[in-house]
Structures are given as C-alpha cells and as structure tokens.
Amino acid sequence: MKNLAVRGIIFDMDNTLLRSKIDFQAMKNELSRYFSSLGLLPEHVLLEKYTASTLMEEANRTNRMTDQQKAEMWEICKRHEQIGMKGAMLEPGVAELLETLYGKYVLTVVTNNSLDAAESALRENGVASYFDCVVGRELMKSLKPSPDGVHYILNRYPHISASGWIAVGDSWIDGKAAAEAGVKFISYRGDLQKMNKNGVYPMANLDAIGDLLQAIKEFSS
C-alpha cells in the first residue's frame, strides 16, 4: 500500500452503500410508543429532535430498563430492519467504486444495524468480500452518533491514525460519530442543513458515490 494521506475508509451502510427501504420513522414511532408505555420518556417528548438511535440512548440513560425490555427494544429494530433490507440493492456506482478501491485502502463498514443483517445484505449484493471489517451494533457500546463504532475501527487498525481515515455517510449521525473520533467526514447526498444544525460540517458532499475517488485524491495530495 502506498503511503497515502488517506489509508482507510469507513462507510455507513443504509443509503450509502445500499439503497435501504428501512422505514426509520416508523421504527422511531414504535420505539417511542414502547418507551412511553414503560414510562421511560418525558410526557411531551419532541420526536423530531430524535433519531431511532438517539431515542434508544435516551431510554437507556434512565437505567431502568430490564434485560427483557432491552430485548424487546432490539426486536422492534430487527423487525423493521428485516422488512426494509429485504431485496435492498446497491446504491448506483457502489460496485464499481469498491472494485477500484479494493486493495488500495482498508475498507470498513460501521452501521447501527445488526451485524447479521449487514453482512447478509452485503453478501446478497456480492460485495461482502471487499470489506476488511464490518461493525454492527453488537460490537458497539453505543450507537451512532456515538463515536464508539468508529473507535472500534481505529483500535482494530492501530497502524493507521485517525487522520488516515475518512468516513462516508448520508446522515448527520454518521458525521457526528466520525468527528468525535477525529476522522474526516464526507457526506453522500446528505441533508446539509440538518447536518449543520447538528454541528456536522462535511469536507465534501457527493451527489454520486463514484465522486469519492476524486475527493480521496484531493485529501491525499
């Protein structure tokens, strides 16, 4: 491997590598109803301020969830993931991009989805072999926007400093996780207004995933 400024890439999965059909709004709504029934959320919680993952963190912070309740929480997520990932296809240009990047960079995935769902979807689309490491929620202490999944990657590849990585994702939670771990972030078709509102300022915003190649060249020059 050449001594490039960028030596590793951390991809989000849903709507970055795969065109996901997971209804995250429906997932969040069901989680909200479940947590509210357990008295784990404020009475007038403003759901628009939360993602599914941050809502789960809010409930977890009460330290009042039993193991059975946590298991039910994950079952709600799993049910929505299974429906949304069924038949999920690659985002346009992903296969060609991965073929070009393979062998030149350490390629990884950090997703809030379960590891099994992530690996299955990547295998079904014929791209699992391109990745050196896939981090699902079972390997994290906290979900994105926590940097825990990114730190998992950094710890697994200690020969590459944080400055040698870039992270690519469509959501502000991907950018927040990267930034808090000291990793450069590139948005793929993201909502920049929402990202900025949440303190995320990508180094680039790609309209096509293949444009990542040019961005890497610029970072490595």
Cβ atoms of residues 145 and 53 within 8 Å:
yes
Give the per-residue pLDDT at 22.
86
Flag whether pLDDT at 1 surpasses 50: no
Q: How many CA atoms lie within 13 A of 33 on its CB side?
A: 6
Instruction: Specify whether the backbone of 99 is left (phi greater than 0), alpha (psi in -120 to 50) or beta.
Output: alpha
Give the per-residue pLDDT at 10.
98
Cβ atoms of residues 214 and 196 within 8 Å:
no
CA distance 22 to 40: 25
Q: What is the mean pLDDT of residues 193-210?
A: 96
Strands 133-135 and 8-11: unpaired
Dihedral angle, C-alpha 57, 89, 206, 213, nearest 10 ° = 110
Q: What is the mean pLDDT of residues 188-200?
A: 96
- Residues whose CB falls within 8 Å of the CB of residue 196, separated by 6 or more in sequence, listed in order: none
CATH no., domain 8-20+89-220: 3.40.50.1000
State the pTM of this model: 0.84
Flag whether pLDDT at 219 surpasses 80: no
Give the per-residue pLDDT at 88.
87
> In the chain, where does the domain assigned CATH 3.40.50.1000 lie?
8-20+89-220
Q: What is the mean pLDDT of residues 91-109?
A: 97
91: which DSSP letter?
Answer: P
Give the per-residue pLDDT at 45.
80
pLDDT digits (tens, 9 = 90+) for 10-45: 999 999 999 988 898 999 999 999 999 999 988 778
